[in-house]
Amino acid sequence: MKRANGTGSVFKLNGKRRNPWVARVTQGFDDKGRQKYVNLGYYKTKREAENELLSYNSNPYDANFKKITLLEVFEKFIEIQKNKGVAQSTLNGYKTFKKRCGEKLLNAKIQELKALQLQNSIDELVKRGLASESLRVHKVILVSIFKLAMKLDIVQKNYASFITIPKSKPVLERKIFTESEIEKLWNCIEIENVDIVLILIFTGFRVNELLNIQRENVDLENRYLKGGSKTKAGKNRVVPIHPKIFELIKSKYDNTNDYLFLNHFKRKMSYMTFYQRFKKMMEILDMKHTIHDTRHTFATMISEASQNQKAITEMIGHASISMTEKYWHTNLEKMRKELEKIN
């Protein structure tokens, strides 16, 4: 049966070829009014080519999109991020992402990348010993790239969102910050974001929990912070402000932004920005720690200083303990009493 005009054509190439059948459509005209042909692809059988043509005609798309690679969308993503004014540390993180992807993945046509290929790329990074924290950042960037590709109608589904990050196996025991290291942090308070590390150590917040705290969640008069996430017990928990970090919190509170912790552009600081600065900071101070070591340090210090397990679990947010309005202030003072036992 002859196809209707404007619906494209299927034909066979000469010679011995693995995929001899071509599905072709017309997309526009040149300056002289001649049709511009675009090949949708090359196929083993005539039926495969006809099915592709049928699929195209039922939902037309820019055939040139089929040639766009992951790298091309990534470069467009970088351009958008630069226009938004993201920090240099975030851009450095994108460079690291590009190196970890490798040429094979970057040069793959993004329409042909499915969940399996993306998961395989993550699994390769696992074999190379990349930490779970870095794997999570890698996935976040891939998801963002695919979101942009969907926005541009290049792909129909965000296959990066199906990536699973394997739970990290504890290879090394977590290291707490020693007393001498904490003293060193205080002595080097002028180094960028050392103050945030100290706040993490004396509150026990996870880094994202701290970065998400807004000024409305800070009560300087009663000296407490309200925040937290991840678990039922961890959400919206109240943590007293230790006297040692009160001035650090107060200095952050004095900004006019909704959030306490900002980047150089006076916007909320992202996890990636802090992560890059933390790594640089540890190099400068000649320390070897992960960000989560701050929370482990807090848990260790408060456990050594106090025997009040209820107060400890409420501050850390691990146990399922509910606080009613009636006993709220009583619990806050109990927690403060235990917290201030940390010297």
**Tens of pLDDT along 69-78?**
999 999 999 9
Cα–Cα distance, 248 to 195 (Å, whole number):
7
146-153: average pLDDT: 86
Which tops the pLDDT comparison, 55 or 225?
Answer: 225
Q: Is 336 left (phi over 0), alpha (psi -120 to 50) or beta?
A: alpha
pLDDT tens-place string over residues 243-281 = 999 999 999 887 678 899 999 888 999 999 999 999 999
pLDDT tens-place string over residues 323-340 = 333 333 445 565 666 666
Which sign, positive or negative, has the C-alpha torsion 159, 161, 164, 165?
positive
pLDDT at residue 11 in the model: 92
pLDDT at residue 332 in the model: 56
Cα–Cα distance, 325 to 232 (Å, whole number):
17
Which tops the pLDDT comparison, 149 or 66?
Answer: 149
Mean pLDDT of the chain: 82
Are the C-beta atoms of residues 5 and 21 closer than 8 Å to each other?
no
Are the C-beta atoms of residues 36 and 29 closer than 8 Å to each other?
yes
Tokens of 119: 């998961």
Q: Which of 230, 205, 231 is nearest to 218 (CA)?
A: 205
Are the C-beta atoms of residues 201 and 177 closer than 8 Å to each other?
yes
300-314: average pLDDT: 65
Q: What is the DSSP string of 119-150?
A: HHHHHHHHHTT--HHHHHHHHHHHHHHHHHHH
3-state secondary structure of 23: strand
CA distances from residue 68 to 96, 110, 243 in whole angstroms, order as listed: 22, 6, 56
Q: Which of 111, 1, 110, 113 is nearest to 50 (CA)?
A: 1
Rg (CA), the chain: 27
**DSSP β-bridge partners for residue 278:** none
3-state secondary structure of 290: coil
Which tops the pLDDT comparison, 300 or 178?
Answer: 178
pLDDT at residue 317 in the model: 57
Tokens of 76: 């467009």
pLDDT surpasses 90 at 322: no
- How many CA atoms are closer than 13 Å to the CA of 75, on its beta-carbon side? 7
pLDDT at residue 323 in the model: 36
Cα–Cα distance, 309 to 299 (Å, whole number):
11
pLDDT at residue 321 in the model: 35
- Please report, for the chain, how many H helices and E strands are present, in that order: 13, 6
Cα–Cα distance, 183 to 172 (Å, whole number):
24
Are the C-beta atoms of residues 68 and 110 closer than 8 Å to each other?
yes
pLDDT surpasses 50 at 135: yes
The strand ranges marked E within the chain are: 9-12, 21-29, 35-43, 218-219, 224-227, 237-240
Q: What is the pLDDT confidence band of residue 169, given thresholds at 50, 70 and 90? A: low
Angle at 60 between CA 54 and CA 61, to 5 degrees: 125
Tokens of 213: 């705290």
Q: Please state the length of the chain.
A: 343
Which residues are CB-contacts of 123 (< 8 A; sequence separation ≥ 6)?
A: none
145-154: average pLDDT: 87
